Amino acid sequence: MDSKIKLRSRTAAALTLAAGALLTGCAGGSQAPAAKDDGQPIEVWARAGTDAATTYAAMFKEFTAATGVQVNFQGVPDLDQQLQTRAASKKLPDIVINDSAALGNYTSQGYLQTIDKSAVAGGGTIAESLWKETQGLDGATYGVPFSRQTMVTMIRKDWREKLGLPVPTTQEELAKLATAFATQDPDGNGQADTYGMAVPGSTERGYLGWWASSYLWQDGGAYLKDEGDGKYSASASGAQQGVTWIKQQFCTPGNTQPGALTAATSVASPFFQTGKTGIILTGPYNFSSFDASLGKDKYEVIKTPKGTEDNTVLAEGENIYVTATNGKQDQTRQVIDFLVSAEGQKAGMTAGKQPVVRVPVNSDVDAAAVYNDPRWAVVQDALKNSSRSFPSAINFVPIKQAAAEALNKIVSDCGADNVASGLKDLDAAIDNELAGQNAKS
């Protein structure tokens, strides 16, 4: 392969350095010297715990064996904090693999170079809809899709069958199943110690806003409306039906686990994993841990029940980002080409204990076939036919946080008629944030 990824840097206060442009100059049009190759192995960071880091390490071992290109890989759980530290020293890692939703934040801080997607070998196997998720507010491409996934609904199959209840197909049926799990002793131990849904209702890191988004969309609501040309408007006031359904779950005794209002995902998920709740909306990354703790035959992955509109679920994923201080053109090209190739995508799915490629972005790779697991067909189908992502061109983090805080306040007061007023306040907070990002229509 002799194609070159053409890169140019975005201007940034956080990175005032000579290495701020590459090949095509600064985004603002100024000409600065190109970033230099320091002669060291290409440095790649990813947000990854121990198991995921092991998978990445195995992937890059395969890559080095095939290409001779040395990679200094680091799995960094607190990646964004560490990036800020490195930005202050004006030397970021060369490549960062992180959430697709991080793009807006990274571009606003000037961390990234743009990418010519036509020069990515295998770029044609990546859906145009995924490439659009890597565009900044200026329309330039700032990342390469690497992995995607959707939220899926998982249910204790053994509990459901013991109670003689059908697989839920609507939100109403899902709520009834949650109540049954909380009140009809589905585990048969004679104790009132089971609950309906495992819910991360905390405001921490915007968890409640993240979890609730799927249910809002299913009932025709949304936090934002895309007005085009990089502009958005707040639209939470139109989500009253979805928020009302969510509030009903928190306010129906037992439908959510104890302490749901302050639970992060690390607290909520174990309620399902240890057999205390029977329903969870989460990502397929939990399959392996749930299989080990519950047994694969004890729970089922179902097509997410419909709201009044449809059964849309949140789609997320990871992109490959090239940083502003990266001067290693050839190594960068080879790393990216490998990561999105069929070989690289399969390695990301199978090379370690935990897959770092969940649903492959390469259309030539079938997740259900590679994993030999039909549950992944449910995930792939949802991703293709009934998923939606948060906007990535803007910094969505403060909007998700505002949503979590507003929703937490609404569902905390079961006796109050506060859905409409709470969402009106959320709209004001979102509009204020959009204005601060120069993204308000």
Signed CA dihedral, 24, 28, 31, 37: sign only: negative
Check residues 341 and 90 and name the one with the higher pLDDT.
341
Report the alpha-carbon distance of residue 191 to residue 282 in Å, rounded: 27
Q: Do residues 291 and 404 share a domain?
A: yes
Neighbour tally for 292: CB within 10 Å: 10
Q: Does residue 138 have a pLDDT over 50?
A: yes
Q: Does residue 13 have a pLDDT over 80?
A: no
Task: Give the CA dihedral 285, 291, 294, 297, nearest 10 degrees.
Answer: 120
Report the alpha-carbon distance of residue 14 to residue 87 in Å, rounded: 6
Give pLDDT, residue 262: 98
Report the alpha-carbon distance of residue 75 to residue 9 in Å, rounded: 25
Give pLDDT, residue 35: 76
Check residues 11 and 353 and name the one with the higher pLDDT.
353
102-125 pLDDT per residue, tens: 999 999 999 999 999 999 999 999
Q: Which amino acid is at 33?
A: P
Listed residues 351, 372, 388: the one ending a domain: 388
Instruction: Answer for the pair 228, 419: CB distance below 8 angstroms, yes or no.
Output: no
Q: Does residue 254 have a pLDDT over 60?
A: yes
Q: What's the predicted TM-score (pTM) here?
A: 0.89
Listed residues 364, 388, 412: the one ending a domain: 388
Q: Do residues 432 and 323 share a domain?
A: no
Instruction: Answer for the pair 11, 30: CB distance below 8 angstroms, yes or no.
Output: yes
Give the percent of the chain with pLDDT over 70: 92
Q: Do residues 381 and 419 share a domain?
A: no
Q: Does residue 1 have a pLDDT over 80?
A: no
Question: In the predicted model, what is the mean pLDDT of residues 361-383?
Answer: 96
146-196 pLDDT per residue, tens: 999 999 999 999 999 999 999 999 999 999 999 999 999 999 999 999 999
At which residue do the structure tokens 């998720």 appear?
133
Give the percent of the chain with pLDDT over 90: 88
Instruction: Answer for the pair 71, 45: CB distance below 8 angstroms, yes or no.
Output: no
Assign 8 a pLDDT band (cuts: 50, 70, 90): very low
Q: Do residues 60 and 209 share a domain?
A: no
Coil, helix or strand at residue 382: helix
Neighbour tally for 41: CB within 10 Å: 16
Question: In the predicted model, what is the mean pLDDT of residues 74-97?
Answer: 94
Q: Supply the CATH number for residue 372's domain.
A: 3.40.190.10
Domain count, the chain: 2
Strands 224-228 and 95-99: unpaired
Of 34-38, 237-241, 251-255, which range is least confident? 34-38
Q: Do residues 159 and 48 share a domain?
A: no
Q: Does residue 31 have a pLDDT over 70?
A: no
Q: Does residue 285 have a pLDDT over 80?
A: yes
Which residues constitute the domain of residue 173?
152-314+392-436
Report the alpha-carbon distance of residue 377 to residue 369 in Å, rounded: 9
Instruction: Answer for the pair 223, 425: CB distance below 8 angstroms, yes or no.
Output: no
Check residues 64 and 27 and name the one with the higher pLDDT.
64
The total number of residues shown for the chain amounts to: 441
Q: Do residues 169 and 243 share a domain?
A: yes
Q: Do residues 244 and 378 share a domain?
A: no
Q: Do residues 89 and 133 share a domain?
A: yes
Answer yes or no: is 441 within a domain: no
Q: Do residues 124 and 207 share a domain?
A: no
Assign 37 a pLDDT band (cuts: 50, 70, 90): confident
